Chain A
Amino acid sequence: MSTADAVAKQRTPVRPARILLHVFLVVTSLAWLAPLLWAIFAALRPYSETSDKGYVSWPDKLNFDNFKNAFEQSDMMHYFVNTLIIAVPAVLLTLLLSSMVAFYVSRFDFRLNIFLLLVFTAGNLLPQQVIITPLYRMYLLIDLPGVTASGKLYDSALGLVLIHVAFQSGFCAFVLSNYMRMLPHELTEAALVDGASVWRMYWQIVLPLCKPAMAALATLLSIWIYNDFFWAIVLISTGENMPITSALNNLSGQYFTDPNLVAAGALLTAIPTLIVYFVLQRQFVSGLTLGANKG
């Protein structure tokens, strides 16, 4: 503590204003965390105790029973797997497709470049509900016997993957094309003169240089797609096929019969995002600001 203090003193002298600021920030942070802490508190207490003593009371027993029950009773694992089946292909495909568009747009000065980029970016900014009515009809009309379990694009993981890819590739194409534009032009110019194919230029020269941006976008996309609620609520009809975030809505009525179980169930679904966030915090934040800084 003392050495840390010394370092702090070197940076800025500790003034009363600073201390006041810290007090303010500690109080506000705690206020910000309060709803989450309240949920954790409720989830850790047995229902019998809280119904007896009320929720604002000193806890006699704290355990993970609610978490265990919420997880097992609702077969949560099944829904986590559903999410995985949707999110992994969606993230990979989005990155692949958007990097291809970005490569085309940033490296080849064709007449339609800006227009193409505009189409992608504007598409990503539309509210999802603008397109949902025709999309829902389209998904019902497209027959895919043998390809999906439902025989249609509707109510299938494939349908969700496609709309995620189509929608998110707008943002990613925008970010990646900005990133690729900053790479020195000589890199690809030289390769072109040497007779390298366009695909090699993309795959072996440009893409490896975009790793930081791709990592940031991958983190961001994983969390966004994991957290998606809307697409699955409308485009999936069978409760069993829902990814976890959307399934929460049904599960809370069916299996999470008391507030303690609801709290535990909701918190369980938040855990994967929190892990990704804490491990890849830097990527997440830089991804979020990559698009914003430029635009």
Chain B
Amino acid sequence: MTTDTNMKSPEAAAVPPPGRAPDDKRVPRGRKRLLTRRDRITLAFMAGVPTVLHVALVWVTAIASILLAFTSWDGIGFDSIKWVGLDNFQQLFSDNPQFWPAVEHNIIWFVVLILIPTPMGLFLAVQLDKRIRFTRIYQTAFFLPVVVSLAVTGFVWQLVYNPDTGLINSIIGANKPGHYIDWIGDPHLNLWAVLVAASWRHTGYMMILYLAGLKGVDPSLREASALDGANEWQTFRSVIFPTLRPTNTVVLVVTIIEALRAFDLVFVFNKGAQGTELLSILITNNIIGESSRIGYGSAIAVVLLVISLAVIIPYLIATFRKERQA
């Protein structure tokens, strides 16, 4: 941190209630004399403008989501907002045939990402981290899917999955009437088909994160382990992997967030038709669909928000606490 004399306990930093404006700041005594009035106005402006924009568009709307989830509103005039208590949630949990499948699909999305592309990315990173030739070319090949937009990824994979003209069906001879395998339309297949595309992208992302983590591993650790007679796998398991702990945390958080955010691919594929419902898709379809129910859509958003914050807040608190100690 900056001046050590002004160090406060981390708890003190977490105490201020949310929503307090940043201009309520206490200037450390030593500094106060050096900062002119104009400086302080400048500082308030520099911190205030971005904060107001961010808070107004991200946090006010997030809180509005929570409040609207307990109301029913047709969006025409504020007078028509009616408090309905838990009705929206009740309907969501018991009457909406899409809700539980969506929750399930979001969970499957996370489980698949963490079990297949994440270890795959780690494996590739470990291989590419050995001083190997052409490593840049390999890295580029695996990383390319991360650079291309998810919308384009969706279209590219549609060309692979198309029942008539797609690569897979053409190769296995399933592109004739009577033999069709409908990878995108069949509700038993389409989620897995989309997940292949999502994993294709996620692997490269994880590879890059792990490569960066591996760069930070002290080479002498590896040497010491080799001197002790450990083989490659033993070195990795008991020396390298434990030192990758910070990277693993980031990877876990990134993967959870990606699973909650999953949207573009599915929307491009089939707009979240049967078999690929996701929470994000339900919220969006509720807005752009014909019968927009604001309170109801917000209730779904609240479910998503609660899950997200349960991950985000502990992660950030741990991160910031660690940084304070550093």
A interface with B by C-beta (< 8 Å) = 4, 8, 11-12, 18, 21-22, 24-25, 28-30, 32-36, 38-39, 42, 50, 54-56, 97-98, 100-101, 103-123, 125-138, 140, 162-163, 165-167, 169-170, 173, 178, 181, 185, 192-193, 197-199, 202, 223, 226-230, 233-234, 245-246, 248-249, 252, 259, 262-263, 265-267, 269-270, 273-274, 277, 281, 284-285, 288-289, 292-295
Assess the A119–B54 pair: CB atoms within 8 A.
Answer: yes
Residues in chain B near residue A140, CB distance under 8 A = 75
Assess the B294–A230 pair: CB atoms within 8 A.
Answer: no
Segment touching A, from B43-51, B93-101, B108-116, B181-189:
B43-51
Assess the A162–B53 pair: CB atoms within 8 A.
Answer: yes
Assess the A108–B247 pair: CB atoms within 8 A.
Answer: no
Q: Which of A39, A132, A197, A226 contacts B156 (CB 8 A)?
A: A39
A294, B209: Cα distance in complex, Å? 12
Interface membership of chain B positions 283-326, coded 1 if the CB is closer than 8 angstroms to chain A and 0 otherwise: 11011100000100110010011001100110111011001100
Min Cβ gap B320→A in Å is 6
From A120, which residue of chain B is reached at the shortest CB distance? B54
Residues in chain B near residue A112, CB distance under 8 A = 13, 16, 20, 22, 24-25
Min Cβ gap A190→B in Å is 11
Residues in chain B near residue A28, CB distance under 8 A = 124, 142
Residues in chain A near residue B167, CB distance under 8 A = 34-35, 38, 55-56
Is B141's beta carbon under 8 Å from chain A? yes
Per the CB 8 Å criterion, the residue count for chain B at the interface is 125
Segment touching A, from B125-133, B222-230, B233-241:
B125-133
Assess the A169–B165 pair: CB atoms within 8 A.
Answer: no
Is B174's beta carbon under 8 Å from chain A? no
A111, B9: Cα distance in complex, Å? 10
Assess the A127–B26 pair: CB atoms within 8 A.
Answer: no
Assess the A202–B46 pair: CB atoms within 8 A.
Answer: yes
Residues in chain A near residue B36, CB distance under 8 A = 197
Q: Which of B137, B160, B267, B301 contacts A133 (CB 8 A)?
A: B301
With A111-B12, A127-B308, A197-B38 known as contacts, the answer to whether A132 contacts B287 (CB < 8 A) is: yes
| In the A-B complex, the 6 residue pairs with the closest CB atoms | A227-B149, A289-B212, A134-B64, A29-B141, A266-B155, A166-B57
Min Cβ gap A246→B in Å is 7
With A121-B316, A129-B284, A269-B149 known as contacts, the answer to whether A101 contacts B68 (CB < 8 A) is: no
Assess the A262–B159 pair: CB atoms within 8 A.
Answer: yes
Which chain B residues (7-65) contact chain A, with CB distance < 8 Å?
Answer: 8, 10, 12-14, 16, 18, 20, 22, 24-28, 31, 34-36, 38-39, 42-43, 46-47, 49-51, 53-62, 64-65
Query: Interface of chain A, helix or strand or loop or mixed?
Result: helix
Assess the B261–A128 pair: CB atoms within 8 A.
Answer: yes
Assess the B287–A133 pair: CB atoms within 8 A.
Answer: yes
Assess the A110–B25 pair: CB atoms within 8 A.
Answer: yes
Q: Name 18 interchain pairs, CB-CB below 8 A, sorted by A.
A: A32-B144, A35-B167, A36-B148, A38-B167, A97-B49, A97-B50, A98-B50, A108-B43, A122-B316, A125-B253, A126-B58, A169-B50, A226-B149, A259-B159, A262-B159, A285-B143, A293-B246, A294-B323
From A94, which residue of chain B is reached at the shortest CB distance? B50
A112, B51: Cα distance in complex, Å? 12
A182, B163: Cα distance in complex, Å? 55
A233, B199: Cα distance in complex, Å? 24
Residues in chain A near residue B305, CB distance under 8 A = 126, 130
With A101-B50, A130-B301, A229-B149 known as contacts, the answer to whether A35 contacts B160 (CB < 8 A) is: yes
With A107-B2, A132-B284, A273-B149 known as contacts, the answer to whether A35 contacts B316 (CB < 8 A) is: no
A98, B54: Cα distance in complex, Å? 10
Is B151's beta carbon under 8 Å from chain A? yes
Assess the A229–B264 pair: CB atoms within 8 A.
Answer: yes
A262, B315: Cα distance in complex, Å? 41
Q: Which of B12, B22, B216 contacts A116 (CB 8 A)?
A: B22
Is B190's beta carbon under 8 Å from chain A? no
From B64, which residue of chain A is reached at the shortest CB distance? A134
A271, B198: Cα distance in complex, Å? 21
User: 13 other contacts beyond A111-B8, A169-B53, with CB at 8 A cut-off?
Assistant: A55-B166, A56-B170, A108-B27, A118-B316, A123-B62, A131-B62, A133-B68, A134-B64, A163-B57, A227-B151, A233-B267, A233-B284, A249-B268
With A101-B51, A137-B294, A274-B147 known as contacts, the answer to whether A130 contacts B159 (CB < 8 A) is: no
A113, B315: Cα distance in complex, Å? 18
A192, B284: Cα distance in complex, Å? 50
Assess the A169–B2 pair: CB atoms within 8 A.
Answer: no
A130, B279: Cα distance in complex, Å? 10
